Amino acid sequence: MMINRIRDVRKARSMTLDDVARRCDPPTTAQTIGRLETGMRTLSLDWLNRIAAALEVDSSALVSTTAATELGVVALLDADGARAPTRTERAAPPTPTDQMVAMRVTGSLGDYRSGDMLWLRRIDGGGVAAALNRDVLVPRPAGRFVFGRLIARDGERIQILPPGARTRQQVVNAPPWLAVAETLIRTL
């Protein structure tokens, strides 16, 4: 079974239905794109290619199969080496949600290497306590961010220690949101 991922990709690129419709060649309507996203209209190969071009992605990024949603765990690794599991296990890849954001590492820093991709889950103010001693991304004014270990919270102020040697603690007062690092994707 093929699953349409147009909406996920469109939202990840911060585009509206109208943005995609206008960028299609030839242009179409936001209503048509919405119907294709929701399955109310059949997604032909022609439509798939047009929408992929409008989103500037490969057409394969717009569909997925349910068969590939889990992988079989074939080995377990510990201090004694790799061994076969004693029972059947499955590993599910991370599932994007509306609360997920991503950050790409472009230069090695601390435990992070150039090329790493981090998936982070946005949390509201009530979830800050659960984020203590975890790596977080916090927005600052003018499109800047602070990333590092959340080491303390004092009312509206949070203290973050960026990764790497000889870094100084950063204090952010009343951030509009913060996102906790959940998944590290690293190509070997």
Digit-coded pLDDT (tens) for 55-90: 988 888 888 765 455 677 788 888 888 888 888 877
Does 46 map to a domain?
yes
- pTM beyond 0.85, yes or no: no
Query: Which pLDDT score, from 0 to 100, does residue 47 have?
Result: 94
In this structure, the chain runs to a length of: 188
Same domain for 111 and 51, yes or no, is no
Does 177 map to a domain?
yes
Does 114 map to a domain?
yes
Range of the domain at 23: 2-65
Does 7 map to a domain?
yes
Does 159 map to a domain?
yes
Query: Which pLDDT score, from 0 to 100, does residue 151 have?
Result: 94
- Please tell me the total count of domains within the chain: 2
Strand pairing of 117-123 and 178-185?
antiparallel
Query: Which pLDDT score, from 0 to 100, does residue 38 have?
Result: 87
Query: Which pLDDT score, from 0 to 100, does residue 70 have?
Result: 62
Could you give phi then psi for residue 16, rounded to 5 degrees?
-90, 170
Does 133 map to a domain?
yes
CB atoms inside a 10 Å sphere around CB 120:
21
CATH code for the domain of 107: 2.10.109.10
Query: Which pLDDT score, from 0 to 100, does residue 134 have?
Result: 93
Does 76 map to a domain?
no
- Cα dist. 5→9, 13, 52, 57, 86 in Å? 6, 13, 11, 12, 36
Average pLDDT by stretches of 10, the chain with 188 residues: 81 90 95 91 91 89 66 80 83 73 89 89 78 91 90 90 89 90 86
Query: Which pLDDT score, from 0 to 100, does residue 100 have?
Result: 85
